[in-house]
Every structure is written in structure tokens, then in C-alpha cells.
Amino acid sequence: MILTVTLNTALDITYRVPRLHPHTTHRVTDVAERPGGKGLNVARVLAALGHDTVVTGFAGGVTGAVLRERLATLAGSGSAAGTGNEPLRGRITDALVPIAGTTRRTIGVVDDSTGDTTQLNEPGPIVTTPEWSAFLTGYARLLREASAVALCGSLPPGVPVGTYAQLIREAHAAGVPTLLDTSGEPLRRGIAARPHLVKPNAAELAGLTGATDPLRAARDARRRGARAVAASLGADGMLAVTSQGTWRARTPLRLSGNPTGAGDSAVAGLLSGLVEEVPWPDRLARAVALSAAAVRAPVAGEFDRADYDELLGRVEVTEHPAAA
């Protein structure tokens, strides 16, 4: 199974409005709620691809209870992972740690006239020392059965900033490959623990290295400890810098829609490719196609299987010459 860690889970709420106007009242035409946070989105896409996943992290309060109810319904029914009602092919197991604090909400407001999304993210709950200790005990146990682990998202208050570095080292000791998807100081400290793969976006990569050129920045990130770097470049696709080579992948189509969850879908593509030992060009194409399909889907963390298959055939992958 693949383990995803979401320390700052969320209940994702998507509102749709005909047109978004600042300083006015809006009539919402559609509301959708999903268990969210980066690692939960990753797990949902992995399950749609046929991988059994276990999700861990924290959940608490009223929103945490709703999140777990929605997660149980999703896992128990094998219901739709995307707009095309594609059934889940793999299982999702809930190993979230209960906490006294209340799980945050993330609000996405989709403007139907443009397809653009305005995102509002609440802060996470405070995690106490006993709650953190309970998580660490469960994490060590889950690593024994994991084929890979994804460490995703921001850290809630009360969790040490060097947490991801600690979790990466524990995974290394257990012989489990790691993917890190975070930003800021947690990324800087985590990368020094030598994760197998990091998946920053261009801004996060520039913040880490100080270099604005993505290729130069990705190579610098490898020198800092990452064994491989897959950088999301927005409309320009994705760049991968690895020990086996350097590739760029993009779709020539102009995309519009809801970008929330697109990066998480890319992580699922990369992670599934890692455990399946897919060659890097195919792994990168899968990640870009899943990301693009997620942008076209109306709700975060969803994708249409037929849309994904069509996009996969359109992804262009080019290899870069080795660094001098």
C-alpha cells in the first residue's frame, strides 16, 4: 500500500457562482464538500488509478467528523473519483489521528463565467504534544506495510518545523521511498534529509534556492539533498531533474477550470509511477495528464478518466542535455 501523510487535513468546500463580483452578495448555484488536504487528494487519485492507500494525519472537531464520514463513504462505496463516475479501483483506509482541535476548512469559489477559482484557506488546529506522540507511534507502524510514503502540505500549529525531515529519516530507516510536497522552511529542512523526490512549484523552488530559472533551481535542489526534483510549472507543464536524466512535459492544450487539487493529482501520478517503476518520461507524462484533467474537473481532487486518457496521448515530453 501507499501511505499519504496530511498533517493539516481540511474539509474542502467548493462554491459555484455565475460570476464573482467583489463587494457584492452572491447566489451560490452549487456546493460540493470533499475530504481534503493535499495527501487526501493524492490518495483519492491513487485509488482511482488502482492503488491501495492509507491516509494518516490529524482530524478533529465538527469538520473533522464530517471529513471522516465523507472519507468512509468514499472508501466504502468505491464511488466516483471524477466527473465521469469512474469507480475507485483501489481501497482508501482511514488512519487519521483524532485531536481536540477543529479541522480547518478550505473554500474554493468558482466563477462560472471565467472558470477561475478564488481560494480561501483557514489555519489549522493546534496539535498537542500527546497528539503528536500518538501520530508518531502510528506512523512507525504504518511504515512497515508501506511501499512508498507521500508527505504533503503545510504543518499545523504545534508541529515542529523539522517534522518532515524527521519523517523522511524514519522512512529511510524502514526502507520506504519518500515524496515530499511542501514549501518554505519545512521544505528546506525536509530536503536536507534526502527524500527520493520533491514536488515544488516554480515559486516554491525559487524560494528554496533563490534561482528564478526552474532548471537551475531544480539542479540546485538536488545538490541540497533531493534525489530527484519534479517541479510544477503551471501552464508550462512539469520539469523533472533526476540522476537518470532531465525532462520537460507539457500539454499543448490551453486549459481553464479549477486548479485546486491539480498539483495533488500530479503527485499521485509521480508516486504511482515510482511504485510501478515506470520510466521517468512516462511517469512525467502521467503526472501532467492527471494535473490537466484535474483542472478541467469542477471539484478539487477529481478527474474524468476519459479526459485523462485523452490528455495523456497529447502530452509532449522532451529530454534536456545533461548538465555540464
Q: Could you give the residue numbers annotated as active site? A: 264
Ramachandran angles phi, psi of 140, nearest 5°: -60, -40
Contact between 226 and 195 (Cβ < 8 Å): yes
**Interstrand relation of 92-94 and 53-60 (parallel, antiparallel or unpaired):** parallel
Contact between 81 and 302 (Cβ < 8 Å): yes
Residue 31: name the closest of 319, 265, 279, 299 by CA.
299
Q: What is the C-alpha to C-alpha distance for residues 248 and 268, in angstroms, rounded to an integer? A: 18
Residue 192's Cβ-count burial label (10 Å; 0-12, 13-18, 19+) is middle
- Cell numbers that stand for 108 in this block: 474554493
Contact between 87 and 119 (Cβ < 8 Å): no
Residue 157's Cβ-count burial label (10 Å; 0-12, 13-18, 19+) is exposed
Hey, what's the torsion of the CAs at 181, 65, 142, 157, to 10 degrees? 50
Q: What is the C-alpha to C-alpha distance for residues 257 and 83, in angstroms, rounded to an integer? A: 13
Q: What is the C-alpha to C-alpha distance for residues 239 and 57, in angstroms, rounded to an integer? A: 29
Rg, the chain, Cα only:
19
- Cell numbers that stand for 24 in this block: 457584492
